């Protein structure tokens, strides 16, 4: 177990006569600081000074706060500076140019933290004690207050609600069918509740129970049964606006029908039935896939050219005579518009310069033309042979992906261990949703992909890709995540297609803006679900819209990038207040201590700092959870004896902390956001003797006291 000690720096920080805080950013030519976080408080000043590489040069500094900022008139260059005041919270960029050059000489970001008020009193960000509630488990709206009282009794000061909007057919808490409608399950027989009722409750929670409230926003997917998507299919990645997904859809139908054939007994003679539960079953399935099912797809054909068609087209160029410009380059094929079989093409102008040339081995013009055509034909055959190899690589990826999926879903001890194949839980997850019935064969369904009326209604599901770059979009070409089956697919939700700007999909941008602003109006903060899968330019736009409604909105994010630099890019561009960090990520006590030391405060022994000092880059601020709603129960993963020690260590960390409903009541399993249907207990129903609520109340009170008294240094 790790021990934590904090040290009180100075009470002068709260002195009303203290000078305004100023942080100095030194500008140097070529500095690209976009991946560093510089954190500021509202009311602080940011002072820019020239570094050694800029002395004697004309420097113009621009910020997204106030545009171009002027330099003061100092006695010399060392005394001059440009300064702005941080009056708004959020993320602001700066850049500078030198000697009127057109290119940017350096850039970075300024992260200004919001100020939270709880009943008109400031709540320090490091004093936040947050608890997650799965909204659908709060039951009918008339009982919410009684079920939320436990948060106040345990001395939390913030509640995180999962989406309160109408959910989809799977009833997953993060699969929203209509972002503008409240979940109808909150209604009672006698009353239909509205967002106005919710707003009143949120205000009462703050006034009567000293609880702020934040809610998830889900921007990157919608429920597969969302009616608005049927009316506006352009809001999804469908087979009309994303034709590169057509081969993946055809593969998806092939795998679906193979699973249905197993379920219906077609492979009984191979010892396969609807119950798949052993390694032997998996080996048999993979053998059939490799040797019988996947070869039917002929996936290489989607990457091959129609040789005769290309040669016929090229013949027109050859008949006009040899190209005056000759190039000795490699001619590559590229996708056609429709992604049909043998639909790849080559650039004919490029081909003309490479293959349509004078030939010393030709006896006359006719012979020259024939030799040029044959050389072109031979090259196309070479390209098609390359496509065969591409197809073989794709087959291997598909097999590995299917093996991993089936093993996890039905065999691995750590998985859900689904036994029987069903229409809902088939052999593999369906990557695409189609609103019309399945046909008897995948070959018959292939035509759906190439009919614009049906193709527009076939939409790609969302999910996540292991070790993927969060700044790239796996649904865009040239990514072949869907064809390779690399997507860990959520079959109950559809990936949303924003494009690059609001004009690309006006309905979707407008809908999500209204949804976001409504959430910002009701709640004190937002939690960005799957921030790493949300296009960053979309999140920027929507957070800007949220700050129009609530300038000091508290923004936290679920962000998994596996890179601190990538984390910082998201924090800087979106103005994220805190990133969610999880204590359960630590496999041993030493690592737990390291995480607390990293996220939980300053180094022990630091001196009281002057009011004017250099700006120091820092790690992204943390909201540190002992357990999130995505984690297994701490009792399940560790021990019941671990619950209080972990909560105690986090309570002494100099950052916001959080937990999930069920942790303090010692629920020994994960309360699932999809399958759980039982409601939370009310305060009157809780047996305090079987909970750690009194201990939690003491620890939360301690955490707030330490933050308010400026205990910022930590030693593990």
328 labelled catalytic: no
Q: Cα–Cα distance between 308 and 684 in angstroms, integer?
A: 79
529 labelled catalytic: yes
Cite the beta strand spans of 385-468 per DSSP E: 432-433, 459-464
Q: Are 548 and 515 in contact (CB under 8 A)?
A: no
| Angle formed by the axes of helices 279-288 and 365-410, nearest 10° | 160
The residue annotated as part of the active site, out of 529, 626, 642, 664, is 529
Q: Are 710 and 6 in contact (CB under 8 A)?
A: no
Sheet holding 602-603, edge to edge: 5-8, 711-715, 602-603
Residues in a beta bridge with 433: 459
Other beta carbons within 10 Å of 528: 24
The residue annotated as part of the active site, out of 221, 532, 629, 703, is 532
Non-local (6+) Cβ contacts of 340 within 8 A are 246, 302, 450
Structure letter (DSSP) for residue 552? T
Render 446-467 in DSSP notation, one character per residue: GGGGGSHHHHTT-EEEEEE-TT
672 labelled catalytic: no
Render 203-256 in DSSP notation, one character per residue: HHHHHHH--EEEEEE--SEEETT-HHHHH-GGGB-BTTT-GGGHHHHHHHHHHH
The residue annotated as part of the active site, out of 34, 197, 630, 709, is 630
Nearest of 689, 693, 685, 688 to residue 643 by alpha carbon: 693
Q: Cα–Cα distance between 535 and 517 in angstroms, integer?
A: 18
Q: Identify whether 478 is preceded by a cis peptide bond (ω within 30 of 0).
A: yes
Q: Cα–Cα distance between 129 and 111 in angstroms, integer?
A: 22
Structure letter (DSSP) for residue 186? G
The per-residue b/e assignment along 429-455, b for 16 or more CB within 10 angstroms, e otherwise, is bbbbbbeeeeeeebeebbebbbeeebb
666: tokens are: 């010692």
Return the half-sphere exposure (C-beta side, CA atoms, 13 A cut-off) of residue 591.
7
- Residue 280: what are its φ and ψ, rounded to 5°? -65, -40
| 314: three-class secondary structure by DSSP | helix
Q: Cα–Cα distance between 530 and 220 in angstroms, integer?
A: 8
Q: H or E segment at 91?
A: strand 90-98
Q: Cα–Cα distance between 219 and 513 in angstroms, integer?
A: 10
Non-local (6+) Cβ contacts of 363 within 8 A are none
Tell me the CA end-to-end span of the chain in Å, nearest whole number.
Answer: 10
Go through the chain and tell me how many residues it has: 716
533: tokens are: 């899968």
Q: Are 596 and 653 in contact (CB under 8 A)?
A: yes
| 639: three-class secondary structure by DSSP | coil
Give the torsion through C-alpha atoms of 268, 273, 278, 284, to 10 deg: 40
What positions carry a catalytic annotation?
529, 532, 630
């Amino acid at each position: 177990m790790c021990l934590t000690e904090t040290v009180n720096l100075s009470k002068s920080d709260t002195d009303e006569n203290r000078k305004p805080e100023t942080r100095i950013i030194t500008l140097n030519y070529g500095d690209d600081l976009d991946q560093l976080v510089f954190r500021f408080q509202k009311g602080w000043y940011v002072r820019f000074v020239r570094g050694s590489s800029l002395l004697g040069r004309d420097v113009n500094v621009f910020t997204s706060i106030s545009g171009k900022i002027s330099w003061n008139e100092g006695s010399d260059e060392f005394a001059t500076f440009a300064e702005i005041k941080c009056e708004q919270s959020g993320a602001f960029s700066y850049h500078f140019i030198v000697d009127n050059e057109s290119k940017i000489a350096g850039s970075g970001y300024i992260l200004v933290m919001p100020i939270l008020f709880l009943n008109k009193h400031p709540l320090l960000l490091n004093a936040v004690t947050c608890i997650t509630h799965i909204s659908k488990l709060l039951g009918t709206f008339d009982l919410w207050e009684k079920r939320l009282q436990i948060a106040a009794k345990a001395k939390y000061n913030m509640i995180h609600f999962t989406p309160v909007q109408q959910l989809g057919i799977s009833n997953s808490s993060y699969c929203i069918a209509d972002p503008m409608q409240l979940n109808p399950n909150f209604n009672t027989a006698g009353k239909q509740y509205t967002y106005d009722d919710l707003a009143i409750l949120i205000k009462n929670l703050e006034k009567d129970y000293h609880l702020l409230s934040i809610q998830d926003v889900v921007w990157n997917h919608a429920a597969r049964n969302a009616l608005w998507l049927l009316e506006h299919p352009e809001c999804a990645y469908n087979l009309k606006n994303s034709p590169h997904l057509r081969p993946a859809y055809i593969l998806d139908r092939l795998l679906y029908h193979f699973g249905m054939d197993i379920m219906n007994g077609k492979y009984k003679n191979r010892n396969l039935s609807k119950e798949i539960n052993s390694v032997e079953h998996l080996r048999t399935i993979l053998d059939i896939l490799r040797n019988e099912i996947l070869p039917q797809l002929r996936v290489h054909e989607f990457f091959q050219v129609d040789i005769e068609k290309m040669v016929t087209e090229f013949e027109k160029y050859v008949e006009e005579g040899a190209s005056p410009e000759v190039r000795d380059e490699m001619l590559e094929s590229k996708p056609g518009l429709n992604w049909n079989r043998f639909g790849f093409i080559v650039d004919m102008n490029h081909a003309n310069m490479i293959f349509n040339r004078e030939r010393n081995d030709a006896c006359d013009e006719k012979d020259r033309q024939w030799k040029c055509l044959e050389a072109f034909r031979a090259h196309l055959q070479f390209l098609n042979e390359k496509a065969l190899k591409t197809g073989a690589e794709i087959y291997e990826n598909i097999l590995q992906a299917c093996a991993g999926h089936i093993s996890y879903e039905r065999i691995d001890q750590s998985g859900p261990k689904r036994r029987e194949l069903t229409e809902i839980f088939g052999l593999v997850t369906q990557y695409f949703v189609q609103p019309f019935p399945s046909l008897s064969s995948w070959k018959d369904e292939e035509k759906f992909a190439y009919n614009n009326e049906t193709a527009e209604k076939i939409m790609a599901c969302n999910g996540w890709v292991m070790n993927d770059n969060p700044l790239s979009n796996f649904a865009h070409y040239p990514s072949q995540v869907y064809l390779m089956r690399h997507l860990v697919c959520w079959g109950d939700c559809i990936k949303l297609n924003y494009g690059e700007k609001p004009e690309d999909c006006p309905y979707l941008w407008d809908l999500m803006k209204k949804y976001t602003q409504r959430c910002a109006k009701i709640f004190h903060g937002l939690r960005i679900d799957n921030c790493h899968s949300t296009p960053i330019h979309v999140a920027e736009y929507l957070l800007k819209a949220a700050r129009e409604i609530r300038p000091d909105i508290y923004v936290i994010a679920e962000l998994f990038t596996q890179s601190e630099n990538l984390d910082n890019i998201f924090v800087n561009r979106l103005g994220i207040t805190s990133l969610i960090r999880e204590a359960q990520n630590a496999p041993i006590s030493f690592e737990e201590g390291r995480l607390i030391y990293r996220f939980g405060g300053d180094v022990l022994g630091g001196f009281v700092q002057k009011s004017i000092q250099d700006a120091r880059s820092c790690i992204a601020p943390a909201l540190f959870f002992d357990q999130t709603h995505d984690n297994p129960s701490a009792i399940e993963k560790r021990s019941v004896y671990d619950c209080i020690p972990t909560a105690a260590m986090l309570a002494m960390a100099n950052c916001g902390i959080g937990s999930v409903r069920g942790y303090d009541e010692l629920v020994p399993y994960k309360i699932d956001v999809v399958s759980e249907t039982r409601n939370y207990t009310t305060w009157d129903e809780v047996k305090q003797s079987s909970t750690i609520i009194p201990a939690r109340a003491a620890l939360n009170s301690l955490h707030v006291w330490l933050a308010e008294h400026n205990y910022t240094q930590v030693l593990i």
